[in-house]
Amino acid sequence: MSDATARAPQAAAHPPKHETFDLRGQTNTDPKGFVRPVDEYRVEAWGLYMARPADHERFHYLESWLLPDLGLRASVFHFTPGNEQDQDHYVDIGVFEDHGGRWTSEDHYLDLVVRTGMGTEVLDVDELFDAVAAGFLTAHAAETAVSRAFAAVDGIAAHGHDLTAWLAARGMPIAFRD
């Protein structure tokens, strides 16, 4: 059986997901175009913090740090009862830019699941390859995404699989609500 045959069926390749973070309007427009109110935005030299309620069936609140220099979005999902996940942080790889109070993101498919003190897992490599094959992402952008993901895994692992410790050591002290 070939690798292509053995691979589980995947959803069709899709373009990168985009989001907008409007600091003046205190809103976050998600990849599906839904505009959501934001409780808090905080701009630091290294990135943007966002905290907002969520009307998702699996989580009721979302906190994220956009870290443009690293190409990372570090998030904490506050799960609803019965939907808890074995993760402390979820990290998206992509491009994050400040356009004068209006931040944008383009997700480059790869994700990391960080279990503090235990491990860091890379997800969605197949989605990245499918997107490149479909022409949604250039080979250069994919190579950058892979480099960013593995630099993050290496840094997080070197700090005991502690995302916040790694970022603090890089001069990017982040914090989330309890």
Pairing of strands 72-79, 35-37: unpaired
- Report the b/e string of 101-125 with b at 16+ CB within 10 A: eebbbbbbbbbbbbebeeebebebe
- DSSP output for 80-140: PTT---S-SEEEEEEEEEESSSEEEEEEEEEEEEEETTTEEEEE-HHHHHHHHHTTSS-HH
Q: What is the pLDDT of residue 8?
A: 45
**What predicted TM-score, i.e. pTM, was given to this entire model?**
0.91
Residue-level pLDDT, tens digit, the chain, 178 residues: 333 334 444 568 999 999 999 999 999 999 999 999 999 999 999 999 999 999 877 878 999 999 999 999 999 998 777 767 779 999 999 999 999 999 999 999 999 999 999 999 999 999 999 999 999 999 999 999 999 999 999 999 999 999 999 999 999 999 999 7
The answer to whether 14 and 136 are in contact (CB under 8 A) is yes
Domains along the chain with CATH numbers: 11-169 (2.40.380.10)
Q: What is the pLDDT of residue 56?
A: 78
173 CB-near residues (< 8 Å, 6+ apart): 164, 167
Q: What is the pLDDT of residue 20?
A: 98
How much of the chain is in helix, strand and coil states, percent to nearest 5?
A: 20, 40, 40
Q: What is the pLDDT of residue 11?
A: 64
